[in-house]
Copies of this chain bind each other. A is one copy, B any other.
């Protein structure tokens, strides 16, 4: 019994810097200096302190250190849903880079709920996180953004247009969805398509808005009838997309090509095509927005717009680190390219 208690005590009671100081026969100040900078410490003290720390299994309390240094070594990451592959890869890459820099990452999902966003921002602020990566669910949540700015900690926005004070845009990593959509659309128009449907979730967020803009821009440039540019706003659910696509493909003047976002909407469109006996690419050309497993594995393989989520995460981490170190400003925004990966799902429309 007493044996057990001893063991528990051994395990639980943590060694403090004072214990180390006593063991090494020096002052706490010396221990701190020896363990940190290594500056202004004699070789003897350095050695004794290291030995004592090792012997006692001392591990500094970073929590306490934070109180003094006013830096927590943690950054927050606010996304709507880490389980969404789109965010998961970004978070993954950012975390890797930040951990290499010795920082821990705190994640919080908001499910696109403005109230939660505010709560998370407040929580991050109260916990004094050194910085944050944010991908809000909507661009409109003024109270949250004011809080964000008031926090004083560096912030990097992930592929969103968050409103800002006049002349101080938020540092951000942006993806060039507009140019991507334009390229894809131009490609389809080049193949001879004149009625193309863009299946995308609402224009509430930057990526959707930019895609729609690029889509329309391609039609305008090519000088073809803009009425052929069919924008179909989608809930991000497979069933919903399937229903919508069915309706769309049954029309008299059905589109001869579809540009569909992500896994769910793409899957819905593919199912609809199958249900109607339309073969790809003979009867219908398809381009996926975002290169998912499904696009790559489907037969025929689906031509897709691809951008690097890892790059987004890495760039965001880099931007944040730059601000944290306060080293000469450098660029505060990054615009990442989108590529069109040609596969087997597009062909000229069959004459009618």
A residues sitting closer than 8 Å to B (CB atoms) are: 11-12, 57, 59-64, 66-67, 72-74, 81-85, 88-89, 91-93, 95-96, 99, 104-109, 111, 122-123, 125-128, 149-150, 152, 238, 263-264, 267, 270-271, 274, 292-294, 296-297, 299
Q: Which residues of B contact A89 (CB under 8 A)?
A: 83
Name the CB-closest residue of B to A116.
B99
Min CB gap A196→B, angstroms: 22
A88 and B83 contact, CB distance less than 8 A: yes
Task: Report chain B residues within 8 Å CB of A91.
Answer: 82-83, 107
- Complex contacts, A270 vs chain B, CB 8 Å: 297
A293 in contact with B264 given A11-B150, A63-B67 (CB within 8 Å): yes
Q: A11-B150, A150-B11 are in contact. Are A83 and B85 (CB under 8 A)?
A: yes
User: From A310, which residue of chain B is reached at the shortest CB distance?
Assistant: B83
- Chain B residues with CB under 8 Å of A11's CB are 149-150, 152
The 6 closest A-B pairs by CB, nearest first: A83-B92, A267-B297, A83-B88, A88-B88, A12-B152, A83-B89
A95's partner among B72, B109, B294 (CB-CB below 8 A) is B109
The reply to whether A107 and B109 contact each other, CB–CB distance below 8 Å, is: no
Among A109, A111, A122, max chain B CB count under 10 A is at: A109
